[in-house]
Amino acid sequence: MKEKLVASLMAALTALTAVYPALAVTLADFPGFLGKPVEDFLIVIGNAAHPSDVAGAADIAIALAVQSTEQVTVPGVSAAVEGKEQSVALGGSIQDETYTKTQVPLLMRETIEYEDQSALLIEEITLPDAEVKHDDELNGTVYVDLATGSQKLTYTVRFTKELNLAGSSDKALKLKLFGQEFSIVNTTNTPSIWILTGVTGSIDGTTGLTYGEYTIYSDMGAADGSWVRVKIMKGDSTVDTLYVSKTSPATSSATGLEVRLIDAWVSADNVVLRADVVVGPKGKTLKEYKEGDAFPTNDYWTFSDIDASADNKLQGITLVYNINETNQYLKAGEKAIVPNNYFEFGFKELAVKEYVTLTFEAGKTSGGIYDSTNVETKIAGELPAIVITADKPVFGGEVYKKAYIAYNGSHVAEAYYDESLGKIVGTVLNASTNDAKIDGTFDKHNFKITFGDESNVTIVNTSDTGTINLAYKLSDDGKKFQLGNKTGEAEDADVCVGSNEDGTCDVNLGTQEWKETLDYGTEILGIKEYTARDKVVMKLPADQQKAVVYVGKLGAAVEGQTYLKYTPVTAPVAKLDTELSAADKTKNLVVVGGPCVNKEAAAALGLTFPACGEASGIPENAAIIKIVEDYPASGKYTVIVAGWEAANTRTACAVVQQYATLLKDQNVKAIKVTAATTTGITPM
């Protein structure tokens, strides 16, 4: 047997976890351990090593260094909205309110003058009463479904009194829709409006207007401006000559262009001083738009209401945002498509940014349970438990980050891991008369986790009707908890949400592959992935989650920033086992190498150095990662990583390196490693 330094060093990493008595009681406690103050610890390398162990030392060093810092995010500042916001509860609908310049400053509210008429022009936006959903359509992502509701997103330009249009091109009403100017020639009571389209501009004998490959000029006309002569040029060549009157457009048979005269200023000797014209394809310089027709520059918007009581009367135009499969959903950060980006209507963000992550898994009350009222008194030994780990202190009045619901078949206990004491403290109840209840608080979110009737964990939001049921129960042998009827397998009933009138659970989700989002905003993450490991992970918002939708303009957001900071773990120093002083033996140790090559490993395991082969206690063709309590001193820990042979040690190192996927679920003090896979790890 040759224990590898590598393994030892890797063990060092694991040892880190175990090194600190108050925090690292099992291999699974490693992440929490890093975030806490710890004492100095040493990496102890046996005074005999294989060359391959040198490389292993580097691997472990990198792993430890990486773990010694964490990325801290400084939240950005949300973009300010120049307009109006609505916060909509998940499952609720946007309020279909109408906003004007009062709420959305970019909209117009101004007097319009036309042919001796005057009116107040008002722009309005009406929001859709669309639903905010979080269903499986987008795998649990919160979104606004614009296809729902009866009111669509609309944009209106209206006048406080009806305008009488002249009905001719030269007296068209200049009106901006979505910020783009249109010349409305006349209206009909169809209802419809006639709008000049094409390229508009002023020309004379030397100033031309280009349309495609052609440029048009006007050199002569009637002195009263009733008609002008237009030359269509292609380069230096005259392609066609047209005579265009104000009353009717002229069409060029040579080019297919249509030219419409809006107005003209001509000198007494018939020289055109200025002619305002519209050029476009034949029949396209004046177009009729009826309700249902698409807006000229954006097919998503159509005319929905043209307020024209009679020919050449106009009091308002309304356009509606049409929905198809390409624009139906608005996820956070997305907005509707508006011509010229004239305004924005979008799903800005989720209102609540802070979440606490809870992880439910089967485990044990390692180290036993101490009386919460007398922490020196042990009231229960190691019991099967549902271990609930939070990434923030949310239990017991926002004091504890880890809670336990333990059960031995007759009694149930509710307990917490007290980091300051390094103990699990709690209360043992009589299961026949009491249900275990763990209260949780995260900012404004109050919840309770209960366990009763010998199975099933229920998470209830105290301000919401939504419940989550986790089908945890004791295994047949009563030695451990399992999720559902089969351990290590995802089953439908493993996770269930909602409740029926008879108290039964509503929807089974245990094999759902995507996250489930509840109305309150609670998210149950990648369910099947976790239930297959008898585990459930959920994120609870700090308050009722809402979708913030807005209309107007969104300013620039201040980007969030990140920086690295050290976790308060002291930097380890590597020492040879032959170098350890008496002072060193008052510290926690990570021992690299087994009892055959490392004196400290032998001493920690209570063996006489060197203890090789079977005498080492290391399983043949395997490796171990083991936490030894009360060595090298009372209250201290030593972590041993050692393999039967070099290859086994390497494997153990790989396990440590892949802590997040292979080790962190190990709620035990020792494991046997035969392969760097989940199946290759066996609790000892």
Partner 1 sequence: MKVRLTLSKKKILLLASILLLFLLALTLFQRIKLPVYSWNYYGKNLKFRINLRDAEKVPIYPSEIAVRKEILNSFVENITIVFKPGNETINAHYAVEVFEITYKLTLAYKLNFAYIPNFNVVNITSYENLKGTRENPIIALVHPIYSNETSVKLENHVIYIKGENAKSSVEQLRNFDLAVTKFLMAALEIKI
Write out the residues near partner 1 by the rule CB under 8 A.
5, 9, 40, 43, 45-51, 53-58, 60-62, 64-66, 68-69, 564-566, 570-576, 592, 597
C-alpha span between 587 and 42 (Å, rounded) = 7
Token couple for 67:
């773990």
Residues paired with residue 17 on neighbouring β-strands, in sequence order: none
Minimum gap (Å) between residue 596 Cβ and partner 1? 12
C-alpha span between 541 and 103 (Å, rounded) = 30
Minimum gap (Å) between residue 578 Cβ and partner 1? 8
Minimum gap (Å) between residue 608 Cβ and partner 1? 20
Minimum gap (Å) between residue 21 Cβ and partner 1? 20
Q: First CA to last CA across the chain, in angstroms? A: 20
Cβ–Cβ < 8 Å for 295, 177: yes
Which C-beta is closer to partner 1: that of 56 or that of 249?
A: 56
Cβ–Cβ < 8 Å for 82, 555: yes
| Owner of token pair 């009062």 | 102
C-alpha span between 305 and 323 (Å, rounded) = 17
Cβ–Cβ < 8 Å for 513, 530: no
Which C-beta is closer to partner 1: that of 161 or that of 565?
A: 565
C-alpha span between 193 and 176 (Å, rounded) = 14
Minimum gap (Å) between residue 69 Cβ and partner 1? 6
Which C-beta is closer to partner 1: that of 495 or that of 569?
A: 569
Taking every pair of Cα atoms in the chain, the longest distance, rounded to a whole number of angstroms, is 124
> Could you write out the DSSP letters of every residue in 268-311?
TTSBEEEEEEEEEETT-SEEEEETTPEETTEEEEEEEEEE-SST
Minimum gap (Å) between residue 36 Cβ and partner 1? 16
- Which SS3 state, helix, strand or coil, does residue 534 take? coil
C-alpha span between 94 and 321 (Å, rounded) = 15
Minimum gap (Å) between residue 297 Cβ and partner 1? 45
Cβ–Cβ < 8 Å for 584, 42: yes
Minimum gap (Å) between residue 71 Cβ and partner 1? 9
| Owner of token pair 């089953």 | 491
Which C-beta is closer to partner 1: that of 40 or that of 311?
A: 40
Strand order in the sheet with 227-234: 209-211, 214-221, 227-234, 237-245
Which C-beta is closer to partner 1: that of 556 or that of 564?
A: 564
Minimum gap (Å) between residue 89 Cβ and partner 1? 39
Which C-beta is closer to partner 1: that of 150 or that of 562?
A: 562
- Which SS3 state, helix, strand or coil, does residue 539 take? strand
Which C-beta is closer to partner 1: that of 550 or that of 644?
A: 644
Which residues are within 8 A (CB) of 523 and not within 5 positions of it... i.e. 6 or more apart? 140, 355, 515, 516, 517, 538, 539
Minimum gap (Å) between residue 639 Cβ and partner 1? 16
| Owner of token pair 């004196």 | 599
Which C-beta is closer to partner 1: that of 64 or that of 175?
A: 64
Minimum gap (Å) between residue 607 Cβ and partner 1? 20
Which C-beta is closer to partner 1: that of 33 or that of 360?
A: 33
Q: Which of 552, 538, 543 is nearest to 89 (CA)?
A: 543
Residues paired with residue 473 on neighbouring β-strands, in sequence order: 455, 482
Token couple for 608:
């006489």
Which C-beta is closer to partner 1: that of 65 or that of 421?
A: 65
Which C-beta is closer to partner 1: that of 241 or that of 578?
A: 578
